[in-house]
């Protein structure tokens, strides 16, 4: 790491801070070095001031969600890594009277837990997130989803803390949610209001079970991976093709670089060995897959997994 992150950025704020914080245990890959400092703000005021100071001093600022869609460099990362899992930022708010038509979920709330909670309450409209590990903020940033829909399908409005520390609210009419993409501006997503419908709890829970089982049967959920490595590309005729299918047709299942290998169960998953996993191996294998799929099909794959660190980001 090359940037020393001064404690003056956060010493007077209501935060938990850990210098030289290991990031590997906080990711699904279990790979990666340390952050200069890992900070968990305990309230919005402290978060806002920290964001302002990092913006003012040009200190790198990254947000760590559930770690399910992330590869961290073996060398670690400079600057501040934000963890938004303090109790104040994990709140889910239901109206106290009348029918429940909207719910406000804060950025650090678990989408997996919310799926189950809504199903128990008989609230439909979020079942498409079953089996997708994420925080609400992380899911919104990439419009996470799968075969049955995406989080954007349920959004009513989103609040964002802008780089200057001020909060802005964006209504659904001004937002675009496309495949693994949204126009939510840069900044820290604070919360989302979700549109839901009251329904028989048994029916909602049955759909949740169906969607989760589909993922369980079609993906290597027990392996050490970060989920799908690549987005499904759009072909020249405008149709979207499965990245896993293209990788499979290029005969890359089982391909290995060091500790990283292409899953034989689902070709869009790069998995790692438990004992000697390295981020550089995953990055090198992802690059090799990209090259070989282009050679075989003339299609350029785009990563879905986020890479942190100068040595693997290219």
So which residues are the catalytic ones? 180, 228, 304
Take residue 155 and report the two structure tokens written for it.
């959004």
Number of neighbours of residue 190 by Cβ within 10 angstroms: 23
What values do phi and psi take at 70, rounded to 5? -140, 140
Element (H, E) at 146: strand 145-146
State the virtual CA torsion across 24, 283, 131, 145 in degrees, nearest 10: 130
Ramachandran angles phi, psi of 122, nearest 5°: 70, 40
CA distance 307 to 289: 16
For residues 69 and 226, is the Cβ–Cβ distance under 8 A? yes
Q: Contact, 76 vs 33, CB < 8 A?
A: yes
Residue in the structure block whose two tokens are 């049967």: 217
CA 127 and chain centroid, separation: 17
Q: Contact, 246 vs 299, CB < 8 A? A: yes
Beta bridge partners of 221: none
What tokens were used for 285? 């294998």
Question: Which of 309-312's residues contact partners 24+ apart within 8 Å by CB, and which partners?
Answer: 309/32, 309/33, 309/72, 309/73, 309/74, 309/75, 309/76, 309/77, 309/279, 310/73, 310/75, 311/73, 311/74, 311/75, 311/280, 311/283, 312/71, 312/73, 312/279, 312/280, 312/282, 312/283
């Amino acid at each position: 790491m090359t940037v020393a992150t001064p404690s003056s950025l956060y010493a007077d704020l209501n935060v938990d801070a850990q210098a030289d914080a290991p990031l590997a245990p906080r990711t699904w890959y279990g790979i990666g070095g340390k952050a200069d400092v890992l900070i968990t703000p305990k309230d919005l005021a402290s978060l806002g001031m920290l964001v302002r100071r990092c913006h003012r001093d040009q200190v790198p600022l990254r947000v760590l969600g559930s770690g399910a869609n992330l590869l961290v460099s073996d060398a670690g990362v400079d600057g501040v890594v934000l963890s938004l899992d303090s109790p104040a930022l994990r709140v889910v708010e239901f109206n106290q009277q009348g029918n429940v038509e909207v719910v406000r979920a804060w950025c650090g709330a678990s989408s997996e837990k919310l799926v189950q909670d809504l199903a128990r309450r008989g609230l439909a409209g979020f079942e498409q997130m079953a089996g997708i590990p994420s925080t609400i903020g992380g899911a919104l940033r990439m419009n996470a989803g799968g075969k049955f829909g995406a989080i954007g399908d349920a959004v009513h409005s989103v609040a964002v803390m802008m780089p200057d520390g001020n909060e802005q609210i964006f209504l659904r009419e001004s937002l675009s949610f496309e495949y693994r993409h949204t126009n939510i501006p840069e900044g820290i997503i604070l919360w989302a209001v979700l549109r839901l419908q009251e329904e028989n709890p048994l029916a909602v829970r049955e759909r949740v079970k169906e969607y989760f089982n589909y993922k369980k049967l079609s993906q290597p959920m027990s392996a050490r991976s970060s989920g799908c490595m690549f987005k499904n590309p759009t072909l020249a005729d405008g149709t979207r093709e499965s990245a896993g299918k293209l990788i499979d047709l290029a005969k890359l299942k089982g391909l290995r670089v060091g500790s990283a290998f292409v899953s034989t169960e689902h070709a869009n998953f790069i998995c790692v060995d438990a004992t000697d996993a390295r981020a550089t191996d995953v990055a090198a294998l992802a690059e090799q897959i990209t090259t070989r799929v282009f050679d075989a099909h003339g299609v350029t794959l785009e990563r879905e997994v986020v890479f942190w660190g100068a040595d693997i980001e290219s």
